[in-house]
Amino acid sequence: MMFLPEDTVIRIIFLVACSAALIQLVYYLTVFSKLAFYRPKQKTVNPEPFSIIIAAKNELNNLRNFLSQVLEQEHETFQVVVVNDCSWDGSEKALEEYADAYSQLKVITLIEQEKYRHGKKFAIAIGIKGAENEKLVFTDADCYPASSKWASLMASPLGDTTQIVLGYGAYRRESNFLNYWIRYDTAFNAMQYLSFALAGMPYMGTGRNLAYTKSLFFKNKGFARHQHILSGDDDLFVNLTATKSNTVIQLQPESFTYSIAKKSFFQWWAQKRRHLSTSAYYKISHRWLLGLFFLSHFLFYASFIALLILKADYRLAAGVFAVRMLVQWPVTALSLAKLKEKGLLIFTVFFDAFITLIYPILALSNLINKKYKWK
């Protein structure tokens, strides 16, 4: 068996490192910079009515903690539709109390059927059918708005031309390492889908903060094309229907929503697996672009570590790493600032490298075990 000389191996690895770094630089300079240097437009509120849709399954505590903030949004006319999806935790009684206090609340209660088990998509579709307005704003029961102007800011851009608005769903700040990681991972993913949307290639949105029109939903037959997939009520619908001309982003800080992050790594792991399970069904062009980014990301760190292990001239490894960081750092800093997460910048180097390890393991886990569930 023939082996290449060590210096040849080092040259090959160095070439891989340079190629991966170059691809990364292209993404950061041509795509992610779109978000970094984006200037949100001035606040404009359209007085047209809208409906807020929430699917809730056994969310009693979250409904008691957060629903009033949704019901008390500032707008002349709006509706809140909560679909109580076969809950058995007392949600029905709590929602009845809210309905008595707030005339804008409409509650739809689904009853469990032994012969037909449904997921979140069915509940959301029922909510959309029950909504009385063309403009729809979506969030989850465990989310709360950053301000009383949240829903107006999300719904206002919707019209004849703009049919999808992508918002940012953040996590509440807590002082623990897991929370830092979850918030960074969330911001990292937002940097991707918001930047791609600004570059004219929208590929996903998050159900924690999303808006689209009722006519768009029915024109595309709702979730029919991916009804067999448990997840994807948000990202798969956006992936199939979003275009350069019908999609905008909303990045006013008052338009954000917040959730409480998972308290254990294993809870986050299960949630992340479910979120990633839909990416295999994205359009081929989107899968290729995202795949190339993550492959170059992995090869960059793998080749960098290999150069260190082989004790190559440290200037080779340091040089490639420094060039990428000189571009990545300011773009990431500006993007995190836009997302009101600039405090996470100090974790960039560590978390960026951690992504190289954890994402492949998540992908492999999804290949081995494809069981997920909607609560």
Q: What is the pTM of this model?
A: 0.92
- Spans of the chain, pLDDT less than 70: 1-6, 42-43, 113-117, 370-375
What interhelical angle do 265-276 and 348-368 show, nearest 10?
A: 70
Token match 């800011």: residue? 153
Token match 């490192």: residue? 17
How far, in Å, CA of 272 to CA of 264, rounded?
A: 12
- Are the C-beta atoms of 344 and 184 separated by less than 8 Å? yes
How far, in Å, CA of 317 to CA of 315, rounded?
A: 6
Burial class (CB in 10 A: 0-12, 13-18, 19+), 93: exposed
Bridge partners of 52, per DSSP, are: 80, 137
What structural domains and CATH numbers belong to the chain?
Answer: 50-176+203-264 (3.90.550.10)
How far, in Å, CA of 95 to CA of 54, rounded?
A: 12
How far, in Å, CA of 203 to CA of 31, rounded?
A: 13
Task: Please give the structure tokens belonging to residue 42.
Answer: 């001035």
Q: How many helices (H) and strands (E) does the chain have?
A: 13, 10
pLDDT tens column, 144-180 = 999 999 999 999 999 999 999 999 999 999 999 999 9
Which phi and psi angles does 245 have, rounded to 5°?
-90, -20
HEC sequence for 264-326 = CHHHHHHHHHHHHCCHHHCCHHHHHHHHHHHHHHHHHHHHHHHHHHCCCCHHHHHHHHHHHHH
Task: Please give the structure tokens belonging to residue 245.
Answer: 């001309």
Per-residue pLDDT, 1 = 35
Token match 């996903």: residue? 204
Task: Please give the structure tokens belonging to residue 108.
Answer: 């739809």
How far, in Å, CA of 238 to CA of 193, rounded?
A: 11
Other CB atoms within a 10 A radius of the CB of residue 294 amount to 15
Kindly report the length of the chain: 375
